[in-house]
Amino acid sequence: MIPWAEPAAAHGSIVDPAARNYGCWLRWGHDHLNPNMANQDPMCWQAWRDNPNAMWNWNGLYRDNVRGNHQAAVPNGQLCSGGNTENGRYRSMDTVGNWQATDIGSNFTVRLYDQASHGADYFRIYVTRQGFDPTRQSLNWSDLELVRETGRYAPAQNISINVNTQGRSGRHIVYTVWQASHMDQTYYFCSDVNFR
């Protein structure tokens, strides 16, 4: 079940494994002033303190007019914020630390909730290389390996993409690039995972 929000604009996000800001909204949106968050979920705590709108607008982490040149639009160290898109609203997503991670296996499914049913020209799904430590290292393009690239998806609210990997264990980041179909609008998502 997808929780509903009232963000300023309806777009979408990776809901499983949850993108960082979606996960923070899912866990704390109903209780975001709770001081216990500081100890229970410190990465979300710093994100809420930096800019609560990054979580209220969990479905707006995108850039327009990238023209497929993702590495030029999104610099190293800023991959989780989409290159500090939206005037830096999502910059706290780039903060290095122990983000809550979703346990997954070598074969897993990435699920997008596309609230506005934009559809997709393609998805590119990357996973960090074995040995990368997301709790201590900022994310660079060279840390990623492309594990799945799709073709087009018709407009729908729920899209599932099966991903097959091998040779990974422990903490990683699943990085998803979603090129929407309705215009040149690209979404960038960091999902923290733990390969079992």
Domains of the chain: 12-195 (2.70.50.50)
Instruction: Determine the pLDDT at residue 10.
Output: 56
What tens digit of pLDDT does each residue of 163-187 get?
A: 999 999 999 999 999 999 888 899 9
CA distance 173 to 19: 10
What tens digit of pLDDT does each residue of 117-169 get?
A: 889 999 999 999 999 999 999 999 999 999 999 999 999 999 999 999 999 99
Closest-CA residue to 80 (of 179, 192, 184): 192
Task: Please count the CA atoms within 13 angstroms of the CA of 108 that sit on its side-chain side.
Answer: 23
What tens digit of pLDDT does each residue of 38-58 get?
A: 999 999 999 999 999 999 999
